[in-house]
């Protein structure tokens, strides 16, 4: 039986971009998808967009939450698929075959997580590539050098959320990084890399939305490193420095 992929979309007042995200999931060539949409109590027309695309949505809830990670945790609790991943309300898949590639990578039973490449695009012009995050082949030791997979492209076997827990909501910006360290470093989960752009992400997210948030993210990253027993200030420095080439390199398809 084909693997079922649960895709979780957490949204709050994103009526301008949500339709593209929902279409992106609907148009995937991989058909065994459970799309879960978790709304935080939107008041801007988001619910009307959800209604328009309800045929492609397996589960929908709308209630106040305690931030994006709390909303994603609600979605994880509802998920019934073999694999869990996220499609944020500002994002879209790189192609209609993105989830098919993810499913194929999980055909190897030793693989617990799968990730690919990510491009950041202009907030107002999603055709403009601003930054290219090339995940690169998985090597666990790279985590000690500040490396991490692009989280919007990360798909994980659902059973691992039961084993290692969901997002720690003490972190307001870096809960995804903490979770990846729990899985890949402490849990030694085997990950597979797909050398393709899996997700196109609009600029202006929480972690890079302001200088204040960037400093807060660094503090939270450092806390996550210490709590997961991987490096310290040097690892934090390398984590930030290694991002610089992402602004200079472009995926082959965009050259």
For the entire predicted model, the pTM comes to 0.91
- Structural domain boundaries of the chain? 5-254
Task: Give the torsion through C-alpha atoms of 181, 151, 197, 75, to 10 deg.
Answer: 130
Instruction: Check residue 58 and report its DSSP letter.
Output: S
pLDDT of residue 248: 64
Beta pairing partners, 120: 131, 201
pLDDT, tens digit, 9 for 90 and up, residues 35-82: 999 999 999 999 999 999 999 999 999 999 999 999 999 999 999 999
pLDDT, tens digit, 9 for 90 and up, residues 74-120: 999 999 999 999 999 999 999 999 999 999 999 999 999 999 999 99
Compute φ and ψ for 133, nearest 5 degrees: -100, 100
- Are the beta carbons of 193 and 115 closer than 8 angstroms? yes
- Token pair of 9 as six digits: 């979309």
Nearest-CA neighbor of 150 among 187, 185, 176, 183?
176
CATH class label, 5-254: alpha beta
Compute φ and ψ for 121, nearest 5 degrees: -120, 165
């Amino acid at each position: 039986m084909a693997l079922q992929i649960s895709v979780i979309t957490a949204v709050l007042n994103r009526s301008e971009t949500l339709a593209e995200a929902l279409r992106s999931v609907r148009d995937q060539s991989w058909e065994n998808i459970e799309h879960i949409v978790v709304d935080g109590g939107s008041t801007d027309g988001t619910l009307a967009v959800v209604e328009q695309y309800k045929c492609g949505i397996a589960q929908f809830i709308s209630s106040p939450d305690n931030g994006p990670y709390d909303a994603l945790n609600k979605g994880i609790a509802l998920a019934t698929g073999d694999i869990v991943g996220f499609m944020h309300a500002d994002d879209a898949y790189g192609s209609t075959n993105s989830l098919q590639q993810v499913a194929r990578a999980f055909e190897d039973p030793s693989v617990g997580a799968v990730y690919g490449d990510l491009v950041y695009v202009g907030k107002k012009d999603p055709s403009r590539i601003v930054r290219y995050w090339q995940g690169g082949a998985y090597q666990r030791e790279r985590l000690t050098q500040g490396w991490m997979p692009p989280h919007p492209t990360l798909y994980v076997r659902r059973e691992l959320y039961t084993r290692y827990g969901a997002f720690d909501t003490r972190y307001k910006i870096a809960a995804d990084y903490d979770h990846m360290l729990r899985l890949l470093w402490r849990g030694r989960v085997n990950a597979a890399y797909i050398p393709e752009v899996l997700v196109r992400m609009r600029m202006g997210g929480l972690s890079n939305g302001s200088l204040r948030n960037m400093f807060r993210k660094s503090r939270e990253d450092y806390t996550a490193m210490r709590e997961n027993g991987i490096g310290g200030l040097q690892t934090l420095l390398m984590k930030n420095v290694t991002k610089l080439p992402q602004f200079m390199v472009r995926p082959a398809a965009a050259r």
